[in-house]
Amino acid sequence: MTIKRHIPNIITLFNLFCGCIALVFAVKENFEMAFYFVCLGIFFDFFDGFFARLFKVSSPRGLQLDSLADMVTSGVVPGYVMFLMLSNSVNTNPSLAYLPYLGFIITLGSCYRLANFNIDTRQTDSFIGLPTPANALFILSLPLIIKNSDSLITLELLINHWVLLVITLLSAYVLNAEIPLFALKIKKFNFKDNVLQIVFLLISLVLLMLFQFSGVALVIGFYVLLSVIMNLITGKKA
């Protein structure tokens, strides 16, 4: 029992470790490796809760540790990546030298969202506002879209500092908006109770296969849109 009690927390620390490595790669502007390590951190973030439930060892310490790890992987890293993107977009305009620091609004919004999640009893089976891992994947996909996209329109938009600032503010808002979003956790292993999750995962797979890094941003946008549509159909409110 003693070993089982520590397994979820060890997995959570792996999440934090991946976030630290992702930050190092982000500093070097190796956005692809930063993206992959954030993905790996999110993978560990999912399974720490899974094993905590499996071993029935959930604890207040584990909850706090999970949020602290997420703060780095899904809060500091995307904020810093946006800082770098804004820095690159204004490097020829000295009058906007302080604008890139606004990229850390994403970090502030993530911090507030994580703190609120820990005390919000409404978020046991679903989410209120966009989860920080989903937001992190969206932000970290942007520099990879710039690198790999053949669309001049997309490129012009994502290197425009005003567009990036709007994305930053929208990101912080959606993280904390009173918008119910469905969870991907499968609690009962049958099709009927997981139709929404299965449909979302299948469409997401198609988007990722067709659009690759651009597909990541599309998947996150689709997740929010699908949740809003389901809320309108079911009349669900926060």
Q: What is the pLDDT of residues 39-75, one digit of tens each?
A: 999 999 888 777 666 667 677 777 888 899 999 999 9
Q: What is the mean pLDDT of the chain?
A: 89
Strand positions, DSSP E, 40-98: none
State the pLDDT at residue 193: 67
Cα–Cα distance measured from residue 221 to residue 235, given in angstroms and rounded to the nearest whole number: 21
Strands 180-182 and 126-128, how do they pair?
A: antiparallel
State the pLDDT at residue 40: 96
* pTM for this predicted structure: 0.91
Dihedral (C-alpha) 17, 19, 24, 25: value to the nearest 10 degrees? 120
Alpha-carbon Rg of the chain, whole angstroms? 18
**Contact by Cβ (8 Å): 155, 146:** yes
**Contact by Cβ (8 Å): 58, 7:** no
State the pLDDT at residue 117: 87
What pLDDT digit, counting tens, does each position of 155-205 carry?
999 999 999 999 999 999 999 999 999 887 665 556 666 788 888 999 999
CB atoms under 10 Å from CB of 150, counted, come to 6
Q: How sure is the predictor about 234, in pLDDT bands with cuts at 50, 70 and 90?
A: confident
Helices (H), the chain: 2-27, 31-55, 60-71, 77-89, 105-119, 132-148, 152-158, 161-176, 195-211, 213-234
Res 238 pLDDT > 70:
no
Residue that wins the pLDDT comparison between 205 and 7: 205
Cα–Cα distance measured from residue 19 to residue 29, given in angstroms and rounded to the nearest whole number: 15
Res 1 pLDDT > 60:
no
Q: Between the CA of residue 137 and those of 98, 134, 151, 215, what are the distances in Å? A: 25, 5, 21, 11
State the pLDDT at residue 46: 85
Q: How sure is the predictor about 24, in pLDDT bands with cuts at 50, 70 and 90?
A: very high
Res 82 pLDDT > 70:
yes
Residue that wins the pLDDT comparison between 150 and 87: 87
What pLDDT digit, counting tens, does each position of 120-143 carry?
877 767 789 999 999 999 999 999
| Range with lowest mean pLDDT among 57-61, 78-82, 159-163, 210-214 | 57-61
**Contact by Cβ (8 Å): 8, 57:** yes
